[in-house]
């Protein structure tokens, strides 16, 4: 959130109320221009911008960026947020980084997700070692019962 009128404390209080879980919040002061870009990146994350990354900045209202962030793996990970002013130079727009935030997060992966991920990544191996022998055992057992009934 960028706000031309609210203090950092007021913005942090709003975020505390709106977040579903208690998180630590990073904040800082940045110089505002009429157009700015916020870009979030992280090597082990799928990150999709919900709002456009480049937005017009109001002189009286808050501007907010939102992303959907999904971890690709568990454990300690790094998120990076870059805030840039969009400047008009030599007839073209160009970004100028005004602030960067790095955040270490620990991703906890539940048992169900771990099992599904393992099965999804190893289905060929599981098929060959578990399913094929089980089908063979079932087929042999079923065929044996039919032969016993006909005798």
CA 28, 38, 70: angle at the middle one, nearest 5?
100
The string of pLDDT tens digits covering residues 91-134 is: 999 999 988 888 887 777 655 555 556 566 665 655 566 666 77
Residue predicted with more confidence, 60 or 108: 60
Of 16-20, 35-39, 82-86, 109-113, minimum mean pLDDT range: 109-113
What are the tokens at 36?
């700015």
Q: Is the pTM of this model over 0.75?
A: no
Average pLDDT over residues 7-34: 79
pLDDT at residue 62 greater than cutoff 60: yes
Report the alpha-carbon distance of residue 11 to residue 98 in Å, rounded.
Answer: 19
The gap from C-alpha 70 to its chain's centroid, in whole angstroms, comes to: 3
């Amino acid at each position: 959130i960028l706000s031309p009128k609210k203090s950092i404390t007021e913005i942090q209080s709003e975020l505390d109320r709106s977040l579903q879980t208690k998180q630590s919040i990073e904040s800082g002061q940045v110089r505002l221009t009429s157009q700015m870009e916020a870009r979030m990146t992280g090597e082990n994350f799928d990150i999709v911008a919900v709002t456009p990354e480049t937005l017009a900045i109001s002189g009286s209202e808050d501007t907010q960026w939102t992303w959907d962030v999904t971890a690709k793996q568990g454990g300690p990970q790094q998120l990076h947020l870059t805030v840039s002013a969009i400047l008009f130079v030599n007839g073209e727009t160009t970004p100028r980084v005004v602030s960067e935030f790095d955040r270490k997060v620990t991703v906890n992966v539940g048992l169900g997700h771990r099992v599904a991920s393992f099965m999804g990544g190893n289905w060929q191996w599981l098929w060959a070692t578990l399913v094929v022998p089980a089908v063979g055992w079932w087929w042999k057992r079923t065929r044996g019962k039919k032969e016993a009934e006909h005798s």
